[in-house]
Chains A and B, each alone.
Chain A
Amino acid sequence: NAGVTQTPKFQVLKTGQSMTLQCAQDMNHEYMSWYRQDPGMGLRLIHYSVGAGITDQGEVPNGYNVSRSTTEDFPLRLLSAAPSQTSVYFCASSYSAGGQYEQYFGPGTRLTVT
C-alpha cells in the first residue's frame, strides 16, 4: 500500500491563480480530511468527507473547495490564491471499524502564494 499520497510536494502561485492539490489513498478508508498547518497554530481542519459524494466544512473553509467523487480521491481546490493561503497542506484518511480508529496523514504540500 502506498498509503496517503499528495501531489505536488511544493508549489508557488501568484495571487489570483487557481490550482488543485491532489490527494489519494489506497486503503479504502471512508473518511478523508484536509488540514493546513501554520507556525504556532497546529493543524486546522479545512474540509472533510465521510464518504464518496459527501463533504462538509471544517474550521477554516473559506477560499477552498473540495469534492469526493470516488473513495480514493479527495482534491482540494484554491479558486483564487491569496498570500494568506501560504501554508503546508496535509491530507488525511481514516477508518472506523469494530471500535478501532486511526488517521493516516500524507507527506504534505508546501504552498507559497506571492
Chain B
Amino acid sequence: GENVEQHPSTLSVQEGDSAVIKCTYSDSASNYFPWYKQELGKGPQLIIDIRSNVGEKKDQRIAVTLNKTAKHFSLHITETQPEDSAVYFCAATETSYDKVIFGPGTSLSVIP
C-alpha cells in the first residue's frame, strides 16, 4: 500500500520568510496530492492540491510542486505570517479518492 513520508517534523521561521515542507510517496499509481492545514483543536482543512498531470500550482502565497519521476512533492509558503502557524499534512491517493493516505505532519511556527 501507499506510504507517505514528510519532512521536517517541526519548522520555525521568522515572519516574512519562506517555509518549505517536503513529502515523498511510494505508490506510483498515486496521482492526487492534497495538502491540509490543521489548527489547534480543529480538523484538517484542505489548502491546496495538485494532480499528476501538473508540475506546479500556485494560490496566492502557497505553491505546490510535484516530481512524479522522483515521487516527491513539496509545499512552499512565501511571506509567512503568524496565522500560518499550524500543523501541515501532505497526502496521496489514486483518483478513486476513497483511500487517502497522510504523511505524519509538520508543525510550523512563524515567529513575529
- Give A contacts to B, CB under 8 Å: 4, 31, 33, 35, 40-45, 48-50, 56, 58-59, 90, 92, 94, 96, 101-108
Contacts and interface: CB of A to CB of B under 8 A. Distances in A.
Given A40-B104, A101-B32, A90 B99 contact: no
Nearest to A90: B43
B46 interface: yes
Contacts of B9: 40
Nearest to A4: B43
Q: Which of A43, A59, A101, A108 has its CB near the most chain B CB atoms (within 10 A)?
A: A43
Contacts of B46: 102-104
A89 to B, nearest CB: 10
B46 to A, nearest CB: 6
A57 to B, nearest CB: 10
B36 to A, nearest CB: 8
Interface string B13-52: 0000000000000000000101010000111111001000
Contacts of A56: 98-99
B47 to A, nearest CB: 11
A58 to B, nearest CB: 7
Q: Which of A103, A104, A105 has its CB near the most chain B CB atoms (within 10 A)?
A: A103
A12 to B, nearest CB: 18
B43 A105 contact: yes
Contact of B97 (A42, A45, A90, A96): A96
Given A40-B9, A105-B43, A94 B97 contact: yes
A53 to B, nearest CB: 14
B73 interface: no
Interface string B44-72: 11100100000000000000000000000
A42 B103 contact: yes
Contact of B43 (A40, A94, A101, A107): A107
Q: Which of B36, B100, B102, B105 has its CB near the most chain A CB atoms (within 10 A)?
A: B100
A69 to B, nearest CB: 18
Contact of B98 (A50, A105, A107, A108): A50
